[in-house]
């Protein structure tokens, strides 16, 4: 069987999710570092986004689809529970991450630090400050949820953890969100639990470009 290739920058939270999925499934993979909108990415993702994947002649884009392929194409522990309720809960959390948590925490807040678009490249304080009230609310409900179970979608690890971990990794590092992690006891305990797994340790990203 050909080796699965993940294409994308290791700093990307969505690229890291697919690498965590490979590790948890026990699937060997290679990482080909590539930034969004480069020829190797554009050849697979029509919008030039990372990650992209190649497995022999088969190419695929979108992190959730890539993880679903990894889960079904290979033997190994399920990334999405096989029972209907467990599967639905995991997919529900992947969706909440992708449609509510990532847009606020990563696209609005984190990127205002690293890719502000301001002429001098300085963090965009207006965007950062605008994100903070909603981030406090989001941390409050995440902390309530994670107070009831060990992992995002239940008492065992699932793909939902592979989506939230890379995002929370950056939240733990940044000043305002780092304080929010510290103040959210259940989020902090979950974060320690998932980062201690080999899939968390071995996929830790290098610093953002230019830092």
Ligand X SMILES: N[C@@H](CCC(=O)N[C@@H](CS)C(=O)NCC(=O)O)C(=O)O
Pick one of 5, 40, 42, 62: the residue that binds ligand X (CB under 6 A): 62
Q: What angle do CA 10, 193, 198 make, to 5 degrees?
A: 50
Q: Which stretch binds ligand X (CB under 6 A): 46-54, 70-78, 151-159, 203-211?
A: 46-54
Total count of residues recorded for the chain: 211
CB of 205 to ligand X, least distance (A): 11
Of 43-51, 89-97, 125-133, 173-181: span binding ligand X (CB under 6 A): 43-51
Q: 158-177 mask for ligand X (x: CB under 6 A)?
A: --------------------
DSSP letter, residue 7 = E
Q: For 135-167, b where at least 16 C-beta lie within 10 A, e where not — what string?
A: beebbeebbebbeeeebbbbeebbbbbbbbbbb
Q: Which tokens hold the place of 32? A: 């080909």
Site for ligand X in 110-149 (CB under 6 A): none
How many angstroms from the chain centroid is the CA of residue 141? Answer: 19
Nearer to ligand X, 51 or 154 (CB): 51
> Would you count residue 6 as binding ligand X (CB under 6 A)?
no
Q: How far apart are CA 57 and CA 174, in angstroms?
A: 40
Segment contacting ligand X (CB under 6 A): 19-27, 60-68, 75-83, 172-180?
Answer: 60-68
Position 12 contacts ligand X (CB under 6 A): yes
Size, binding site for ligand X by CB under 6 A: 11
Cβ–Cβ < 8 Å for 187, 152: no
Q: Residue 110 Cβ, how far from ligand X at the closest point, in Å?
A: 10
Binding flag, residue 50, ligand X (CB under 6 A): yes
Strand order in the sheet with 52-55: 29-32, 4-7, 52-55, 58-61
Residues that bind ligand X (CB under 6 A): 12-14, 36, 48-51, 62-64
């Amino acid at each position: 069987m050909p080796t699965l290739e993940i294409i994308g920058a290791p700093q990307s939270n969505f690229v890291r999710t697919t690498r965590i999925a490979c590790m948890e499934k026990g699937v060997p993979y290679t990482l080909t570092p590539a930034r969004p909108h480069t020829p190797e990415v554009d050849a697979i993702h029509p919008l030039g986004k990372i990650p992209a994947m190649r497995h022999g002649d088969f190419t695929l884009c979108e992190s959730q689809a890539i993880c679903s392929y990894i889960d079904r194409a290979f033997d190994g522990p399920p990334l999405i529970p096989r029972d209907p309720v467990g599967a639905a809960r995991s997919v529900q959390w992947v969706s909440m991450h992708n449609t509510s948590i990532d847009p606020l925490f990563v696209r609005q807040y984190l990127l205002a630090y690293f890719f502000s678009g301001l002429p001098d490249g300085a963090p965009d304080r207006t965007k950062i400050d605008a994100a903070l009230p909603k981030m406090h609310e989001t941390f409050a409900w995440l902390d309530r949820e994670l107070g009831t179970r060990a992992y995002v979608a239940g008492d065992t690890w699932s793909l939902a953890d592979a989506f939230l971990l890379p995002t929370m990794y950056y939240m733990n590092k940044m000043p305002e969100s780092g304080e929010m992690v510290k103040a959210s006891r259940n989020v902090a305990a979950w974060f320690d639990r998932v980062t201690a797994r080999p899939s968390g340790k071995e996929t830790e990203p290098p610093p953002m470009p230019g830092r």
